[in-house]
């Protein structure tokens, strides 16, 4: 589902964000990506989304070679990927319902089908009463749940989360992680970039540790963990 | 999404963009409207100037006097050559010597005619050539004058009279007016285009977060662009409607003024058939063009 082969990313100023990264995620698998700030976690996420292209190596996501993907094909790649950001990226002028429905409108779903699907998700995530609220009227945890709902609304085969628990308290972080793990159990490939070590320790799931753009094998912080 | 749901979505989004920055929208609509009125007014003046020139001069006429011994048939052959050579010539008619005599006689006052011997009245076959002034722009007049001057060397042609000097002056003035009007029209249209472009760019800038999120969740650039195109077209349409209203009000006012002056027979038609369509269509095209230019570069920078 996601395949990185000896991927390097160098920016024009000479900054090396990734160097020789290889990883392989099958359908329905889960991977934590961690490491200190500047390790290359966000660059890795951006490559999966087709925002960045590798300088060397190849990136294949949902059967598409991101390295050689034409600009006009990127939207179709992204329709296979649900994405959750630390800063939620919810639209303030939209209601909770509209924020979640956005992806379906882009895909051309009918209004009736959108209503039904968004209704189901709101109920599943306990957000029904907030459907008509604007993001500024809800809490941080609720915002992140809305962001997850938006990412999952079209049942994408891949879910990518960049620091999804960065802005929430520990209890809420667990709640959010449970949602992501639940999605993985239902067959979604999930990649979570985080530096929340407490959270990583809580879940016995495969881990990739990055430092200065390189994969660190056998990271001592998580002995015995499966590494992608 | 059903067949109509997507267009409706785009229309809703485009209209929402317009409402988002009302002051800028009003300025854009006003600019488009005023520019269309000005361009339309300049076009009207140019058309009227051509018509006025045609009416006052009666067309550009030349009289080709033929040798007295030339038959009417030979004269008509020459007329056929003229008509074939110059599509600008609308009429070339040959008159016989007796017809010339009658014409000249009719021109003379009765007191002059009394006591005048008839063989003193000029009588010579001639060809009257009338041209369509509207087709004589640029170098055409000079080319035609030179060609007709060369006719004087042809056997059977006696003399050619042509009043081209006044026409040259009129043409020079008209060309200058046409040039100035063209420059003004271009400046005005560019100003309108600039305002539409600025409005759309500000609108896109205000929605940059929304655009980024849309692109991240799989929107194509076309999907993102279309609402801005709709916004531009709507602003242009409102501008066109404003222009139509202004012209309509102007026409009513002028007509009322003419009636008040007692000029009941005089009418002015500022809104001929198709003018409404031209104003609305012109506004829409202007709005769309501004939107395409405004949002194009902005989206090229987004990923």
Nearest 5°: the CA angle A131, A136, A140 is 85
The minimum CA-CA distance between A218 and chain B, rounded to whole Å, is 34
- Chain B window 208-227: which residues touch A at a Cβ cutoff of 8 Å? 209-210, 212-221, 223
> How do residues A106-152 score in pLDDT, each as one tens digit?
988 888 999 999 999 999 888 999 999 999 999 888 898 899 999 99
Q: Which residues of A touch B (CB under 8 A)?
A: 49, 51, 72, 74-76, 78-79, 83, 89, 91, 93, 102-103, 105-111, 150
Look at residues A129, A126, A100 and name the one whose alpha carbon lies nearest to residue A114: A100
Q: Which residues of B280-291 are buried (b: 16+ CB within 10 A; e: fewer)?
A: bebbbebbbbbb
Q: CB–CB of A106 and B303 under 8 A?
A: no
**Closest partner CB to A108 (pick from B6, B214, B217):** B6
Pair B141, B60: CB distance under 8 Å? yes
Q: Which of B2, B218, B221 sits opposite A103 (nearest CB)?
A: B218
H helix and E strand count, chain A? 7, 10
Instruction: Give Dmax (Cα) for chain A.
Output: 51
* Residue A228: pLDDT over 70: no
Rounded to whole angstroms, how far apart are CA atoms B280 and B244?
8
Residues A86, A223: Cα–Cα separation, whole Å: 27
The radius of gyration of chain A from alpha carbons, rounded to an integer in Å, stands at: 17
Give chain B's residues under pLDDT 70.
1-3, 54-59, 137-138, 164-165, 263-267, 297-298, 300-303
- From the CB of residue B168, how many other CB atoms can be counted at a distance below 10 Å? 12
Q: Which two tokens stand for residue A188?
A: 């979604």
To the nearest whole Å, the CA of B197 is away from the closest chain A CA by 24
Sign of torsion over alpha carbons B255, B261, B266, B270: negative
More confident residue, B138 or A84: A84
Contact status, residue A188 vs residue A28, Cβ threshold 8 Å: yes
How far apart are the C-alpha atoms of B235 and B284, rounded to whole Å? Answer: 8
CA angle, corner B112, sides to B108 and B114, nearest 5?
Answer: 115
CB A172 within 8 A of CB A141: yes
Q: Look at residue A156 and tell me whether its pLDDT is greater than 90.
A: yes
Is some CB atom of chain A closer than 8 A to the CB atom of B301? no
Q: Chain A: residue nearest B224 by CA?
A: A106
Q: Give CA B272 to chain center in angstroms.
A: 13
User: How do residues A183-220 score in pLDDT, each as one tens digit?
Assistant: 999 999 999 999 888 888 888 899 999 998 888 876 55
The mean pLDDT of chain A is 88
pLDDT of residue B119: 77
B62 — phi, psi (to 5°)?
Answer: -130, 145
DSSP state of B95: E
Of A106, A109, A111, the CB nearest to B217: A106
What's residue A222's pLDDT?
A: 47
Q: Please give the ipTM for the structure prediction.
A: 0.87
The reported pLDDT for the residue numbered A223 is 42
pTM exceeds 0.90, yes or no: no
Reported as a pLDDT band with limits 50, 70 and 90, residue A224 is: very low
Cα separation of the two ends of chain B: 26
Other C-beta atoms lying within 10 Å of the C-beta of residue B150: 11
């Amino acid at each position: 589902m996601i395949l990185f082969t000896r991927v390097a990313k160098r920016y024009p100023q000479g900054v090396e964000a990734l160097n020789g990264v290889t990883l392989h995620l099958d359908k329905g698998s889960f991977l934590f990506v961690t490491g200190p700030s500047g390790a290359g976690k966000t660059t890795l996420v951006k490559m999966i989304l087709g925002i960045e292209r590798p300088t060397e190596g190849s990136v294949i996501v949902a059967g598409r070679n991101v390295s050689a993907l034409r600009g006009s094909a990127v939207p179709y790649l992204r329709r296979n990927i649900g994405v959750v950001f630390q800063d939620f990226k919810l639209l303030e002028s939209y209601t909770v319902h509209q924020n979640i429905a956005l992806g379906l409108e882009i895909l051309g779903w009918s209004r009736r089908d959108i209503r039904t699907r968004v209704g189901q998700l709101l109920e599943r995530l306990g957000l029904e009463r907030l459907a008509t609220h604007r993001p500024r009227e809800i809490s941080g945890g609720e915002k992140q749940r809305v962001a997850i709902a938006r990412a999952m609304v079209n049942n994408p085969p891949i879910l990518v989360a960049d620091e999804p628990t960065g802005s929430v308290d520990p209890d809420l972080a667990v709640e959010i992680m449970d949602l992501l793990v639940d999605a993985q159990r239902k067959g979604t490939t999930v990649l979570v970039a985080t530096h929340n070590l407490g959270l990583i320790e809580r879940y016995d799931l495969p881990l990739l540790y990055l430092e200065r753009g390189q994969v660190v094998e056998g990271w001592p912080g998580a002995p015995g963990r499966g590494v992608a | 999404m059903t067949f109509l749901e997507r267009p409706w979505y785009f229309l809703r989004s485009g209209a929402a963009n317009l409402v988002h920055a009302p002051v800028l929208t009003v300025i854009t609509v006003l600019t488009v409207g005023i520019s269309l009125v000005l361009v339309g007014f300049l076009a009207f003046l140019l058309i009227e100037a051509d018509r006025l020139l045609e009416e006052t001069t009666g067309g550009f006429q030349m009289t080709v006097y033929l040798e007295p011994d030339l038959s009417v048939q030979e004269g008509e052959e020459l007329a056929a050559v003229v008509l074939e050579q110059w599509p600008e010539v609308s009429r070339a008619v040959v008159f016989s010597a007796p017809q010339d005599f009658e014409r000249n006689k009719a021109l003379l006052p009765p007191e002059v005619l009394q006591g005048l011997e008839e063989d003193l009245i000029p009588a010579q076959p001639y060809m009257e050539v009338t041209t369509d002034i509207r087709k004589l722009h640029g170098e055409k007049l000079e080319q035609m004058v030179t060609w007709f001057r060369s006719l004087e060397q042809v056997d059977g042609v006696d003399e050619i009279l042509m009043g081209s000097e006044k026409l040259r002056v009129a043409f020079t003035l008209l060309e200058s007016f046409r040039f100035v009007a063209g420059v003004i029209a271009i400046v005005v249209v560019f100003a309108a285009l600039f305002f539409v472009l600025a409005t759309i760019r500000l609108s896109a800038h205000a929605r940059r977060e929304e655009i980024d999120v849309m692109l991240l969740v799989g929107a194509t650039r076309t999907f993102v662009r279309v609402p801005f195109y709709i916004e531009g077209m709507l602003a242009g349409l409102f501008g066109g409607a404003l222009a139509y209203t202004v012209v309509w009000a102007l026409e009513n006012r002028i007509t009322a003024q003419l009636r008040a002056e007692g000029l009941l027979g005089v009418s002015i038609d500022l809104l001929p058939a198709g003018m409404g369509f031209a104003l609305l269509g012109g506004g829409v095209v202007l709005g769309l063009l501004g939107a395409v230019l405004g949002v194009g570069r902005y989206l090229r920078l987004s990923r």
